[in-house]
Amino acid sequence: MREKTERIVREWTESCDAEVSIAVLGGAWKPSILTLLGEHEVLRFGELGRLLQDPTPRVLTRQLRELEADGLITRTVYRQVPPKVEYRLSELGASAGQLLTELTRWGTLYAGRQRTAVDA
Amino acid sequence: MREKTERIVREWTESCDAEVSIAVLGGAWKPSILTLLGEHEVLRFGELGRLLQDPTPRVLTRQLRELEADGLITRTVYRQVPPKVEYRLSELGASAGQLLTELTRWGTLYAGRQRTAVDA
DNA sequence: CAGAATCCGAATCGATACTG
DNA sequence: CAGTATCGATTCGGATTCTG
C-alpha cells in the first residue's frame, strides 16, 4: 500500500470511510483505468495509453504503480524483447465495480444538471 | 460552480464521469460534511467544526464555500450579533446520499482488508 | 515497448494570527 | 460566532527528454 493511502487508512475513523475510497480511486485516470480493465480483462501499457487518449507515460506509470501498491491491479512482466507488461484487475479491484458504477451514475447526473443550468 | 469542477465537467467525456464525482466530493472533510448534513438537516459553522473534530477555520470555510459553489449545500446568513450561519443540503446534495453510502461501504471494506493484511 | 530522469507551475492542506 | 489574511510545506499532473 502506498504511503498516502496508508496514512488515510491509519487515521481512518467511522465518520470518514468515504475518504478512504476517494484516496484510493482519486488519482488522474484511475477510475477510467479500472473501468477499462473491468471491460477488457487484460491490457498492456501501450493499449491503456491509447484507450485513455495518451496521458504522458510518466503519469500513466505512476497511476498504475499506485493502483498496484494499493492492491487493485496486478502487473505481469514478460522478460522479452520487446518488453511486454500486462495489467489486470485484482479481486479487490473488481470489488470496486459497484462503486465505480455509482460514481459514474452520479457524475453523469451532476454534469448533466450543471450543463442544463449553464445552457438555460 | 467553482473553477476546478467547471473544468472537469467541461472536459467530461463518457469514460470519466466518475472523475466528476470525485472532483466534487474529493476535498478534505467533504464527504463527512455531507454525511453530517444528511443526518442533522441543519448545522451551524461552529457545530460542524466540533463534529469534524476541529479542522482549521480556514480549511472548513473553503470546503463549505466550494460545496456551495458546486450546488450541494446552501448557506443561510442571519445578520445579527453574534453572527449565525446555517448550512443545509440542497436537493442536489441530497441526491449524492446513495453515492456517499457506497463510498463508505467500499472504503470500510478496503480499510478492513488492509488492516487484516497488515496484522497477518 | 514500457518505462525512467528531470524539471516545473498550480493547487491544496494546514498552522498561526487577527477581526466585524 | 464565523470567519479572513498571510505564510509554508507538500503533492500532483504534465511537458520534455532519454534508455534497456
Given this model, what pLDDT does residue A97 score? 98
In 3-state terms, what secondary structure has residue B72?
coil
A48 CA to D15 C1' in angstroms comes to: 20
Q: Is the pLDDT of residue B18 over 60?
A: yes
Query: What residues of chain A lie within 8 A of the CB of B18, using their CB?
Result: 25, 31-32, 35, 100, 103-104, 107
- Mean pLDDT within B8-28: 84
Say which CATH class A3-115 falls into.
mainly alpha
The grid coordinates listed for A43 are 491490457
Its pTM surpasses 0.85:
yes
In 3-state terms, what secondary structure has residue A52?
coil
Q: Which residues, including other chains, have CB under 8 Å from residue A90's CB and lie 6 or more apart?
A: A71, A72, A73, A74
Given this model, what pLDDT does residue A15 score? 54
Given this model, what pLDDT does residue A118 score? 65
In 3-state terms, what secondary structure has residue A42?
strand
CB contact under 8 A, B110 and A20: yes
Kindly report, residue by residue over A69-80, the tens digit of the pLDDT.
999 999 999 999
Query: How do strand A84-89 and strand A73-78 relate by DSSP bridges?
Result: antiparallel
Which residue has better confidence, A24 or A117?
A: A24
Q: Where are the domains of chain B?
A: 3-115
For residue B77, the 8-state DSSP code is: E
Q: Which residues, including other chains, have CB under 8 Å from residue B83's CB and lie 6 or more apart?
A: B77
